[in-house]
Amino acid sequence: MELLDLSFFTSAIRMISPILLAALGGALCARVGIFNVGLEGLILAGAFSAIVGNYYSGSVLVAVLVGALGSVLVSLLFGLAAIRLKANPIVAGIAINFLVLGLTTFGLRAIFDVKGAFYDKNMEGLPKLDIPVIEGIPVVGKLLSGHSPLVYIAFLAGILLYIFFYRTVTGFRVLAVGKNEAAARSLGLKVTVLQYGAIVACGILCGLAGAQLSLGQVTMFTEGMTAGRGFIALVAMMLGQSHPIGIVGSSLLFGLMDALSIRLQGFSMPTQFTAMLPYIITIIAMFFLKDRGADSQLSGQQSSR
């Protein structure tokens, strides 16, 4: 087995989608001035709801929708705390992460009466999409074809978000809210509506990310199965400076590392060591971040000028 063969890149592309989807959601929140640390919790809520939807309906489409809905509900709770009650978004986000971790563990027992993980062989996973023309092209076909629909949706979402931010009026206003909320309010822009809109959209994206996790490879849910992907998404968002195309790039990097860590296990590297890879990259990425990220004009000291 080679280290970097075609299937390595195929798996990297598959690994990217949850990170990319969540990072895009986080970017939306960052762009309206809310730093959403609760991505991890939102993905987990999406993963669990998707399994519940799948189990009761038997339909993958319904499962994905239920996954998105579950995540949106948790996201709205976060929005309520951060926008309406003006809680510190970091504290609210961390609370969301712990809340969902506990809630899904409890849900496993209450709904499925199992501990740790739930698997049912009758559950159907996400289908693999074979793209007609591309499928036929030798290397590219194998690389780009045959992924779950959510993988394609993730990349599509990146492009759509780019068009939204930089081409549409509403997107322009969303950017304005994040840059200078006071100025946006003074213009009579509907700041709160835009913020809730971003929160809901973030919920949908994280829900899809969760569905990809629980329905994408093996159709099952395990406790805390996000395993820090929400935080990696947060870093991907910061590394991409909340710019959709930048985020696609940084998510690709993290997806590659994720795939690499799995591949290295095949080279009799200790799992514990390979599992560190994405996080080492995260730390290295931090060096390049420094004080960048979505810049907002908030600062502690005001100037009299």
Partner 1 sequence: MTYRLEMKEMTKKYGEFLANDEVSIQLKKGEVLAIVGENGAGKTTLMRMLYGLEQPTSGEIKLNGKTVKFSGPLDAIENGIGMVHQHFMLFSDFSVTENIVIGHEPKRNGFFDRKEAAEKVKALSEQYKIHVNPLKKAGDCSIGEQQRIEILKVLYQGADIIILDEPTAVLTPIEVEELLKTIQFLAEQGKSIILITHKLPEVMKVSGQITVLRNGKVTGNVLKQNTDIEQLATLMVGRELQKLTDRNQLEGEPLLVIDNLNIGVKEAKPILDHLSLTVNRGEIVGIAGVSGNGQSELIQAISGLRKIDSGSIRLGETILNGKSVAYIRNAGLAHIPEDRYLWGAAKEASVEETGLMGYYRKKKFNQSSFIRLNGFRKLVRGWIERFEIKTTSLDEKSGNLSGGNLQKLIVARELGFETDFLIAAEPTRGVDIGAMEYIHEAIIAKRNNGDGILLVSSELTEILTLSDRIAVMYEGKIVDILDRNDATEERLSVLMAGGNENESSTKTTTTA
Residue numbers of the site for partner 1 (CB under 8 A)? 167-169, 171-173, 175-176, 179-180, 182-183, 185-189, 295, 297, 300-305
Least distance CB 160 / partner 1 (angstroms): 13
Strand partners, 221: 118
User: Counting Cβ atoms within 10 Å, is residue 284 exposed (0-12), middle (13-18) or buried (19+)?
Assistant: exposed
Exposure of 260 in the CB half-sphere (CA atoms within 13 A):
14
Place of tokens 């991890």: 40
Least distance CB 173 / partner 1 (angstroms): 7
The nearer residue to partner 1, 90 or 183, going by C-beta atoms, is 183
Least distance CB 293 / partner 1 (angstroms): 14
The nearer residue to partner 1, 168 or 271, going by C-beta atoms, is 168
Least distance CB 129 / partner 1 (angstroms): 29
The nearer residue to partner 1, 119 or 172, going by C-beta atoms, is 172
What single DSSP character describes residue 147? B
Kindly give, in sequence order, each residue whose CB lies less than 8 Å from that of residue 252, ignoring residues fewer than 6 positions away. 12, 16
The nearer residue to partner 1, 156 or 183, going by C-beta atoms, is 183
Residue 136: Cβ within 10 Å count: 11
Angle between helices 229-239 and 277-289 in degrees, nearest 10? 30
The nearer residue to partner 1, 122 or 303, going by C-beta atoms, is 303
Place of tokens 């795939």: 259
Q: Which one, of 257, 249, 196, lies nearest residue 229 by Cα?
A: 257
Least distance CB 109 / partner 1 (angstroms): 47
